[in-house]
Chain A
Amino acid sequence: MSMTITEKILASHCGRAKVRGGEFIEVDIDVVFANDITAPLAIKKFREWGGKRVFDQEKVILLPDHFTPNRDIKAAGQCLLLKEFARQQDITNYFEVGRVGIEHILLPEKGLVLPGDLIIGADSHTCTAGALGAFASGVGSTDLAAAMIIGKIWLKVPSTIKFIYKGKLKEWVTAKDLILYTIGDIGVEGASYKSMEFSGEVISGLSMAGRFTMCNMAIEAGAKNGIIEPDEITLQFVQGRNKRDYSLYHSDPEAEYLEVKEYDVSRLEPQVALPSLPSNTKGISELGEIHIDQVVIGCCTNGHFEDLRIAAGLLKGKKVHSQVRLIIIPATPLIYLEALKKGLLQVFLEAGAVISPPTCGPCLGGHMGVLGEGEVAVATTNRNFTGRMGHPKSKVYLASPAVAAASAIKGRIANPEEISRSQPHSLDSY
């Protein structure tokens, strides 16, 4: 029986030989996680239901990453709830500030989510982990509470749209541009309730960071999950991080797809999503002159070391435009440390950027870079909804770290090609 990778993972977690799109199933969960925004509600439900113990202290993970370090007394109260619950339940993987990072980047980095896993997180960007060849999907707090108690969840098996990327990417065109282009093509509900399977030679050529970026934004097209089949690059990433066994699944050649979409991306230029939908995408040459007040490089979409490296390559020896704030947010403490060791932080500081501790912060208008009325930002984040980063009359343009860094220098949305490099191959020296 032919199946997609998503169907295989779901079948293996409900003890069936075969599942089909549209079926309702109850599956065993390998990892359940929540953050300082979603966990408090889940904990409240957990107690309302008379929950005594979580189903498995190793498999339930709590990460206060959104408005930490605590932005105010109310946020501190939410985090305290998490901490007390974690202590009471002997949760093995509770990450305090200083050890916590943005959940969707920290979990793979720590080897806590692995290929073949079934992962449920109370955050819509849980789909990021699909880049490992896992099934990962976001839920709300009530579903999470149930999952914490019983270690199971009901799911409708999604049908899959397969995306095949062919060709060779131009310089400065990255995974972020591929996914923005894709969402621009299919729309914000183009994959509603579906699985998005990313494949083809271009995907095979992406690093894990790039693959995480692709899967991260599957939700912006309404998808239930984004997924990439594991290969050598996946195994290299996982080996040495994993503390338990994992399973590798691949789609059968005869697997059924709802639709197969092929893109030749050889001529693709850097993409920008204009306010106020991630699907409102244009090639950077079509934009015209857009002046900016703030640039954010970070977030669960683009807070990887590789993203910071690209930004530093452009910023080395340059200055952030006098009217612009550049906020750099390494996604995890380890990425922060790497950026320190490799000299990236010095490049950022000398350019006039500010470096934030790991946090989701400004992406959803929390702290560490909230926009004022009428302000415009370029961000490597994933959502540009009205008011997302602050004032309802502020605007967010979504782009890659390369476009973001170039824009910070120019004071307007800029193509990285416009930035002359201070020394040849400066990018490679990191």
Chain B
Amino acid sequence: MSQDKKVLQGKAHKFGHDINTDYIISGRYKFKTLDNEELARHLLEDLNPHFYEHLSPGDFIVAGENFGCGSSREQAPLAIKYARIGAVLAKSFARIFYRNALNVGLPIIQTDTENIEQGNELVVDLAKGKVFITKKNLSLAIKPFPSFVLDIIEAGGLTEYFKKYGGWKKNSV
């Protein structure tokens, strides 16, 4: 993992439980385009029509349980990534979204998000496995990844992983 990716810093945008892939990027858009920048502009707009306009690069999406439930559309993590979200933090992730996010190189962090409030400044240290809420002077532990998943994250996604290793690493799984 490159140095700049190890420590992430930004503002929390808080959402609830069961944020599904239709909320993240509506089916109205996903079939229309392979243009990720265009998808990003519609990120979460059914929940908050001006969400994209209020984002600064590196900001975090913070949610409750089961983030990314619903369809298998990879456009969901792509739209988040191309909106320049630093990482998604949630109590738990839906299975297909979890794979897709790692595969496209979007950092996703499983942690207890209860204490994070809308607008809180966060510092996320992936290497140390910590989330720090600046205002509250509070550290949260990150649920660790299996080692071969860490390899994929370090490579920056499955495409980069494949380029790096030319396929699956021996005994990686």
Contact = CB atoms under 8 A, between A and B. Distances in A.
A24 interface: yes
A140 B34 contact: no
Given A26-B168, A49-B162, A139 B96 contact: yes
A74 B31 contact: yes
Contacts of B96: 124, 138-140, 219
Interface in A35-53: 36-38, 40-41, 44-45, 48-49
Contacts, number: 130
Contacts of B27: 364-366, 388
Interface residues on A, range: 35 or more
Interface string A383-404: 1011110101000000000000
Contacts of B163: 49
Nearest to A43: B34
B95 A142 contact: no
Interface string B15-32: 000101011001110111
Interface in B37-68: 46-47, 65-66
A366 B65 CA distance: 28
Contact of B23 (A44, A219, A366, A385): A385
B165 to A, nearest CB: 12
A366 B66 CA distance: 25
B150 to A, nearest CB: 13
Given A24-B173, A26-B173, A154-B173, A36 B103 contact: no
Contacts of B99: 139-140, 143
A147 B21 CA distance: 23
A115 interface: no
B46 to A, nearest CB: 4
B148 A24 contact: yes
Interface string A11-22: 000000000000
Closest 7 CB pairs of A and B: A140-B100, A364-B27, A140-B74, A142-B103, A189-B66, A124-B72, A74-B32
Interface of B: 18, 20, 22-23, 26-28, 30-34, 46-47, 65-66, 69-75, 77, 92, 94-96, 99-100, 103-104, 146, 148, 157-159, 162-163, 167-168, 172-173
26 contacts: A36-B31, A37-B31, A38-B72, A38-B74, A41-B34, A41-B75, A66-B31, A78-B34, A123-B72, A124-B71, A124-B72, A139-B99, A139-B100, A140-B72, A140-B73, A142-B100, A154-B168, A188-B18, A192-B95, A193-B95, A222-B66, A364-B22, A383-B71, A386-B22, A387-B22, A392-B46
